Structure 1
Amino acid sequence: MPEKASSSTGRIAKSAGAVSGAVMCSRVLGLAREQVFAGMFGAGYAYDAFVVAFRIPNLLRDLFGEGALSAAFVTVFSDHDTNKGEEATWQLASNVLSFITVLLSLITLVGILLAEPIARLLAPDFAQVAGKTELTALMTQIMFPFLILVALAAVVMGILNTKGKFFIPAMASSFFNLGSIIGGVSLAWLLPQFGQPAIVGMAWGTLLGGLLQLLVQLPALRKTGFRFRPHLDLRDPGLRRILWLMLPATIGLSATQINVFVNTNFAASCMEGSVSWLNYAFRLVQLPIGVFGVAFSIAAMPVLARHAAQKDMAGLRQTFSSSLVMVFSLTIPAAVGLMLLAGPIIRLIFEHGAFTAEDTARTAEALICYSCGLFAYSAVKIMVPVFYALNDTKYPVISSFLAVAVNVLFITLTIDLFSFRAVALSTSCAMILNFLFLGTVLHRKLAGFALKQLAIGTFKIIAASAIMAGGIFGMRMLLQPLLAGAIPFQLGGVAVLIGSASLLYAAALHCLKLPEFDEITGKVRQRLGR
């Protein structure tokens, strides 16, 4: 591996390590939040309504949160920071913050006014249950301003990431979950005394969490030297470039909306609890997506943007290939582990209070189907920033619409056979297609990348994962009495299974000599050795 590329890979691994730790904290708190929901509301009327209500403002989150805005902003902000000096860079940041606040305030107002028609459009079958559509609309109105808060938090995160600060922005979502849990549970106990459903308290807690996610980053932002100056200039070339980069993604968002609409509509038409089972399962699969896919995406984005700004295509190619192998080395075994341990993990985390053994079985089935596409979902998180760095965002849009076509066709053909499971399996198939399409296009646009390195690395990862799977099978048979016992025994059994499987996989991959995995483990050893 060339010295310069190796330096970039090491920097990404180090940054991703910091982000992964913070994201792990956030995802664990997110699972704790889902445990609260499972224990208090189970899977059914109230939680179905909450999931659909939160999904409505969340439709726009990928554009204004973790997706297009963040990638477009980092690309342009890095260019300004490299080539145009501090004053122009901070002016751009103030202008973007002002523009986003005004635009999303208008969108939020419209969303609040049209909450009930939107709820009826997304989940028409809710109307068959008295009060379910009205409850969904009420919580939509409460949670819609979350969109403004998460978009502003994303811009602040982009500024901090470009300045080399990753840990605090990644920890911000932990404060979202803390606000959601503490504020939500407190209000869920309090509001029924005033004639409001307990689940409405969780909606207010979500809004409080979004506010904390923004506020916790502001002290770190101030330390970078940034001072917000209210400033709105629609003619600013930097703002226009960001919007131009976002435009294809905005079109692509309509594809995402179609997918979400189709999935939600089909899930709501299945047996009651289907929306909840799918949501609990996807929350679990988001743990490795966040810890590995999102973490490496956040860490790689400024490096890729800098290579592009410096016209260093060789460095960009090598950085991309190495990042992809690193993501595969973590997500492929994670997917295997989730498939083999879906039942014990869900039973341990969720099967308390109102959450039944039937809910565990159905959620496990959805989790297995989602896990099939885990590697592709995380890989796409690395691929899309490359297109932004190259100022070419039309291909992710084309890919999104291809995924929509596959999703609609697959669910239509299989929903009667697989019920709610068709939604999860279709999501995986669509994401694998997305990955294959974007990978093919990038290979052409980058005039080739290290396919041999990628193929050899992937083969080693699959071989090590197969060895790990054999170990899990044997260990699970030995530990079955613990896994069927009381919660402390379940906790011990699952911990032993995950720990021993991780060690077995790491040992196998070390023997197979995967350089990218050695980069990751090296950074971990450095951090632990301090």
Structure 2
Amino acid sequence: MSRAATPPGTTDSRILSASAVMAAGTTVSRLSGYVRSALLVAALGTSLHADVFTIANTVPNMLYILLAGGVFNAVLVPQLVRSMKEDPDGGEAYTNRVITLAALFLGVVTVVLVLAAPFVMSVLLDSSWSDPALAEQRDSAIDFARYCLPQVFFYGMFVLVGQVLNARGRFGPMMWAPIANNVIAVGVLLVYLLAFGPAEGVERSGPFTGGRELLLGLGSTVGIVAQLLILLPYLRRAGFTYRPRFDFRGTGLGHTLRLGTWTVLFVIVNQVAYTVVVRLASGGPAESTDGTGYTIYSSSFLLVMVPHAILTVSLATAILPRLSAHARDHEYADVAGVLASTLRTALAVVLPFAALLPVVAPELATVVFGYGAGAADVESFVPTLSLLGIGLVVFTVHYLMLRGFYSLEQTRTVFLIQCAVSAVNVLAAVVLVRATSPADTAPALTLAYAAAYVVGAALSYGVLRGRLGGLHTPTLVRFLVRMVLAVTASTGAALAVAVLLPGWGEEPSRLLALARGAAIGLVDLGVLLLAARVLRLREITSVVDTVRGRLSRT
């Protein structure tokens, strides 16, 4: 029997309020990450020189997620929570076993990966890197990989210790610890700029010297180590003291592993597809001096995913307990109601942002990346930034629909949908990159990403709608019609301002670009809010009221 319905406005306000708290920490973390990304471009540029380091420094996180991320999230974390509730010692012995086992596994894997660094990089680098003319660049990438691959161990232990704290109700440390990593990375890049200066001329396509490799490689790893070390004192404060235990038999991990198989496979499929994308991206700068590659793709992606990181993830985290409770009680209409309302709220922010991106992409690229070695590459960011909005919208839909499947514990369905997404991403990426010039590699990969999540959003929405008996689709369609009208008005006004302001079609200074971007954004926001009031778009006005309420209490 269904519980008494909660008034929609009350439910939405509670979700938005909970999301706002989590979004605050995420915002600080993301902002420090953006400073790091901007400094990296300022120091290394966006060409082959930058990709040598950026790809090697991406490998540890990719490999951790591939080898252990799915296991940790799908298998160990649920067991930690279960053991705390059911074991006589509150999960103390079980947690000690898990940490010991994870440390042994990650330690062995990390040593093997460091020894196998040349093979690892051969998988991720395009065949064009085999050209003898790029031998030194390839050697630099392998050297960086050896410095960075120990991060696999520290990434894994950070996630595990963080989840132990979360299971004990300590959520703050894991949210804020990555800021320390970003601060250290920013410090390392500032030292690098002071010591070596920004990459110039032929250096922008060349290898690194030993001193530069040591500073960037070890500096990057030290940041991940610090991220873990910050969490350790909080374990004792949470009432947990680690003592190694090697009695692994009879702990119930086998049963939980079978339950988490589909989630682990989901992670593997995702990372295999991403490996293909990185390999294709590495070919652009290697084949041509004006080629765009992984540095432009990943830096643009990080910047454009602001609404997802701050709003969508926070919303999804806030609604998941409620979704799971409704699903457990077979209240599928309530699951659909919460999901549908949350989707509209997320799209109310994401759609205007995505539509505005092509208008402000030149200003955004200049303000964020137009420093040092990145000043010469500003125009290279514009196509990728402009196109990423499409992928952001459809990814938002897909991401929230997956939360519905997780609440229903239908991980097999999620895996099968993700297989389709990954297949489309790989196929579209290969076709588009081969059909375009090296200068268009990053935009081609952006379009492939969008195509993949168009398929993913359509599949996940359609299948979940069938499982739940509806997702308030008529309401969503009416909302989208009004949103299109509001966004058309706001983006049209923003474009008119962009054309009329000084600097249209030119390469403005950073100060002028900042002024232009601010004016365009403010006009867009003002017209959007006015249209929202006229068209009664409660999803937009609710977000604004929540933000205003938070600011008034600070």
TM-score past 0.5 threshold: yes
Matched, 1:175 2:180: yes
Aligned counterpart, 1:352: 371
Note the C-alpha offset of 1:463. Answer: 2.7
Q: Within 5 A, what are the aligned runs for 1:367-382?
A: 367-382=385-400
Match of 2:251 among 236, 246, 256: 236
Note the C-alpha offset of 1:174. Answer: 2.3
**Contact between 1:160 and 1:221, CA under 8 Å: does it hold in 2?**
yes
Change in CA separation of 1:467 and 1:141 when aligned onto 2, cut-off 3 Å = same
Note the C-alpha offset of 1:99. Answer: 3.6
**Contact between 2:180 and 2:227, CA under 8 Å: does it hold in 1?**
yes
Aligned counterpart, 2:49: 46
Change in CA separation of 1:200 and 1:78 when aligned onto 2, cut-off 3 Å = same
Determine helix, strand or coil for the equivalent of 2:210. Answer: coil
Determine helix, strand or coil for the equivalent of 1:177. Answer: helix
Cα distance in 2, alignment partners of residues 389 and 257 from structure 1: 23
Cα distance in 1, alignment partners of residues 483 and 173 from structure 2: 31
Determine helix, strand or coil for the equivalent of 2:372. Answer: coil
The alignment yields a C-alpha RMSD, in angstroms, of 3.3
Q: Within 5 A, what are the aligned runs for 1:18-37?
A: 18-37=21-40
**Contact between 2:42 and 2:375, CA under 8 Å: does it hold in 1?**
no
Letter of the 2:153 counterpart: I
Q: Within 5 A, what are the aligned runs for 1:87-236?
A: 87-88=89-90, 93-123=95-125, 124-128=127-131, 129-158=134-163, 168-186=173-191, 196-218=210-232, 224-231=238-245, 233=248, 235-236=250-251
Note the C-alpha offset of 1:390. Answer: 2.5
Cα distance in 2, alignment partners of residues 345 and 512 from structure 1: 30
Determine helix, strand or coil for the equivalent of 1:480. Answer: coil
Match of 1:451 among 462, 473, 476: 473
Q: Within 5 A, what are the aligned runs for 1:381-460?
A: 381-419=399-437, 420=441, 421-460=443-482
Match of 1:507 among 512, 530, 551: 530
Match of 2:548 among 518, 525, 530: 525
User: Which sits farther off after the overlay, 29-38 or 213-222?
Assistant: 213-222
Note the C-alpha offset of 1:454. Answer: 2.8
Note the C-alpha offset of 1:213. Answer: 2.9
Which of the two has higher C-alpha Rg? 2
**Contact between 1:18 and 1:167, CA under 8 Å: does it hold in 2?**
no
Cα distance in 2, alignment partners of residues 187 and 152 from structure 1: 28
Matched, 1:258 2:263: no
Aligned residues: 526
**Contact between 2:417 and 2:459, CA under 8 Å: does it hold in 1?**
yes
Cα distance in 2, alignment partners of residues 67 and 510 from structure 1: 44
Aligned counterpart, 1:304: 323
Aligned counterpart, 1:335: 354
Cα distance in 2, alignment partners of residues 264 and 342 from structure 1: 23
Change in CA separation of 1:214 and 1:263 when aligned onto 2, cut-off 3 Å = same
**Contact between 1:105 and 1:148, CA under 8 Å: does it hold in 2?**
yes
Change in CA separation of 1:183 and 1:370 when aligned onto 2, cut-off 3 Å = same
Note the C-alpha offset of 1:92. Answer: 5.3
Change in CA separation of 1:94 and 1:470 when aligned onto 2, cut-off 3 Å = farther
Cα distance in 2, alignment partners of residues 247 and 435 from structure 1: 23
Cα distance in 2, alignment partners of residues 400 and 203 from structure 1: 33
Determine helix, strand or coil for the equivalent of 2:419. Answer: helix
Note the C-alpha offset of 1:426. Answer: 0.3
Cα distance in 2, alignment partners of residues 512 and 92 from structure 1: 55
**Contact between 2:184 and 2:223, CA under 8 Å: does it hold in 1?**
yes
Cα deviation per residue 1:363-391 (whole Å; 9 max; x = unaligned)?
21122222211022233333333333322
Cα deviation per residue 1:328-367 (whole Å; 9 max; x = unaligned)?
122222211222211110011112221244x222221122
Cα distance in 1, alignment partners of residues 144 and 540 from structure 2: 44
Change in CA separation of 1:396 and 1:298 when aligned onto 2, cut-off 3 Å = same
Letter of the 2:527 counterpart: L
Note the C-alpha offset of 1:48. Answer: 0.8
Determine helix, strand or coil for the equivalent of 1:3. Answer: coil
TM-score, length-normalised on structure 2? 0.84
Cα deviation per residue 1:467-493 (whole Å; 9 max; x = unaligned)?
221121022123333985432232222
User: Which sits farther off after the overlay, 86-95 or 456-465?
Assistant: 86-95
Change in CA separation of 1:79 and 1:20 when aligned onto 2, cut-off 3 Å = same
Determine helix, strand or coil for the equivalent of 1:132. Answer: helix
Change in CA separation of 1:158 and 1:8 when aligned onto 2, cut-off 3 Å = farther
Change in CA separation of 1:492 and 1:392 when aligned onto 2, cut-off 3 Å = same
**Contact between 1:183 and 1:204, CA under 8 Å: does it hold in 2?**
no
Match of 1:473 among 482, 488, 495: 495
Note the C-alpha offset of 1:163. Answer: 6.5
Note the C-alpha offset of 1:297. Answer: 3.0
Change in CA separation of 1:413 and 1:484 when aligned onto 2, cut-off 3 Å = closer
Determine helix, strand or coil for the equivalent of 2:374. Answer: coil
Cα deviation per residue 1:22-60 (whole Å; 9 max; x = unaligned)?
222222222211221111111223211112212322223
Determine helix, strand or coil for the equivalent of 2:470. Answer: coil
What residue ranges of structure 1 are gaps of 5+ in the alignment?
Answer: none
User: Which sits farther off after the overlay, 280-289 or 420-429?
Assistant: 280-289
Cα distance in 2, alignment partners of residues 91 and 9 from structure 1: 40
Cα distance in 2, alignment partners of residues 442 and 132 from structure 1: 47
Cα distance in 2, alignment partners of residues 415 and 449 from structure 1: 37
Determine helix, strand or coil for the equivalent of 1:498. Answer: helix
Q: Within 5 A, what are the aligned runs for 1:308-327?
A: 308=327, 312-327=331-346
Cα distance in 1, alignment partners of residues 422 and 52 from structure 2: 24
Letter of the 1:501 counterpart: D
What residue ranges of structure 2 are gaps of 5+ in the alignment?
Answer: 198-207
Determine helix, strand or coil for the equivalent of 1:60. Answer: helix
Determine helix, strand or coil for the equivalent of 1:368. Answer: helix
